[in-house]
Structure 1
Amino acid sequence: MEGAFVTVETFIEKYTFLYKFPPVFGKPLGKNAKRKFTQFGVASVLNIGYVVAIVLVLHVGYTDKLEVGLVVMFAQIMFLMEAVTSLWCDYALFFSWEEMNWISRELRRLVTSTRGPPTKKSKTNTWLVSLATHQFVSTYQNVALVWLGVVLTTFIGLKYDTAFYLIQMLAPRQSGWEWSLSGKLVRSSFSAYFGYLQVIGTSTMSLLGLEFVYYASKILEQMNRQPVTGGKIAYNSIALLIQRINQIIAWPMTVAIAGASVIFICAFNASVKRYEGLPQILTPAFVALALGMAILAGQALNSGAGVLVNSSDWLDTYKVDEEGNKNRKYFERECRSLQPVSLICGGFGEISKVTMLNLYAVWLDQSVSVLLAFA
């Protein structure tokens, strides 16, 4: 997996062309390194406006004050989830990029220091790294293609973009201008800019979050596998890093998981209710989207659950090994100070072994309820 992360980081740096991206992936900072990335502060403010615009479009569409089709409503809901996530990502990149760089460097250092003797790489391991690399890169490419499609649809008579409905709301007397060449250019530029923010900012922060989760679980797993010199110091270090990681990614993970759940449930409900009125291409697209969300959510939650499991196992082993080697009262105080650590998902609490199963259970329960209602 480390190889996959490095490959994708290089891919990100290569295709970030509008403005310089903060070095959040653990590269050492030089004395003359740029310390302020104002463009992300500006982007977060613009994203607030974009969120408000989408909410207005959804509101007028729901109240029938503006003709907004069902497919467009779902598209706007997806854009809203991405915009809210992108808002946090830009905010974090503006205020906390140096802390994220430090966390990334420390995690990589601990992975190296707790790793045992090198082992021969199996063909299976090499294949898994290649698969993970392809998955990460294809995520960028798919999101980019979606937004490229939104931009291009403005020139072929379709109206999936938010700017189209925003222009109709703000300038009803100029109705028809949004179909002119200048109107299409404004609409496509609007979608292209916010699409770029979400491809680069949101996707990159998602990768960084996966790195944090994976490395934290990997370090504790390696500490369990074999004794580590200064094991208590290493454990305290990873506990501190996990605490800082929780402060950065807890609520964004909540927004992402809750948003994915809402999209899945609403899309499935609408697909069943209005099956005959929807374009046929939406059915395989929905299946592909659902599988993608399930795989990504499962990957993140599975690694996150490994943090709690591995930290609990390490503490149990440490207490057994050290029980007879220290003063009884001191050992009891030490045991009270050493507690299992876990990744926290904002409104859902700590991520455990059953978190992923609970998420899938909710999706399955809602899907069955919809099918029974229309059976």
Structure 2
Amino acid sequence: MAASPDRPSGLRVASVGGVPVYVGSSWLILAVVVIALVGPGIAADRPDLGALAYGVGALYAVGLLVAVLVHEAAHAVVARGVGHRVHAVVADIWGGHTTYDPSRGTPGSAAAIAVVGPLSNLVLGLLAWGVHPFAPEGVPSGLLGAFAFVNVLLAAFNLLPGLPLDGGQLVEAAVWRLTGSRPRGRVVAGWCGRAVVVVVVVWAIGLPLLSGARPDLFRVVWTVLICAFLWQGATAAIAAGQSLGVLARLDPARVIRPARAVSERAVLADVDPQAAHGVPVVVDALGRPLALLSAAAMGGVPEELRERTPVSAVMARQPSEWVVPLEGDPEEDLIALVRTFQDTRASHLAVTRGGVLAGVVSVHELGAALDEVQGRPPRP
């Protein structure tokens, strides 16, 4: 899973509870591999099918796609149900992923989001296995059997205890719950992910070699590709956990500048330009922050025109996502600020407490504070 809201490339095929579902172009590579793997076997078992054997192989690929999308849709539904903003569900060459903002989560909600994906595959597998005896012999029976197998395999594989797999999310949630530290949970789960990679390599390649067998080239190549992907994900998780640990050492109050609300119906003559009185933030009739007012913009308006110049004429309107509600947990508040800066690429964010404007945060000041916490020299 990821947190980036960027629109995925690929074809939008559905929507689950308002969350767009995409099939990435790279998934076609996986489909071709599946067809190439199962097509020849089907053709050998059913020579009467001829070229249609590869069409049946395509149905196997579609079955895998359905299993992946159900898995990811389950993540999306539960994530949204516990209050997270979900951006997209994507199927690609590596299977799939769900992008959402994990801020304001708890160990329990994180565990629920993680476990529901494998559970959905297990349910699909059991349903397919239950229907399998009643399916007509031949292609229908084979498709159902394969669908049952791939779902059980996906459930088992994703429950391996290491990031970036769902089992790693469960490890992270458990350590988070026991220690009270999400960063520590992320780092531990990342190292568990690296351990999982080592075990998979030993099982898939090392054991056959030690027993005198020679693993086939296909098995070696796919083991290397999958383990490289898992190792990269585990390494990224460790780095992310360490970064979160840095955030935990910074009190957000250090980077929040006082702000004062300015009605969007006000004129410039009503606004005190003195920064000592707080950063002027334009708000709507409900008190929701809309824009910033800079001293430079206000200073560019002649004194004689300020009585009839509305603030809307010079305000710098911000993206709708620039408002970050603070919940009182310093670590979670800092994470929310950093993620919102990453998502919006804004230079400033407005923060609220209890729905009331509380201040403004500058990306440059936040970056400088984080550098100071890490002992880095000031940026030029």
Same fold flag (TM > 0.5): no
Structure with the bigger RCO (C-alpha within 8 Å, sep 6+) is 1
TM-score (norm 2): 0.29
Structure number with greater Rg is 2
TM-score (norm 1): 0.29
Instruction: Write 1 or 2 for the structure with the bigger share of helix.
Output: 1
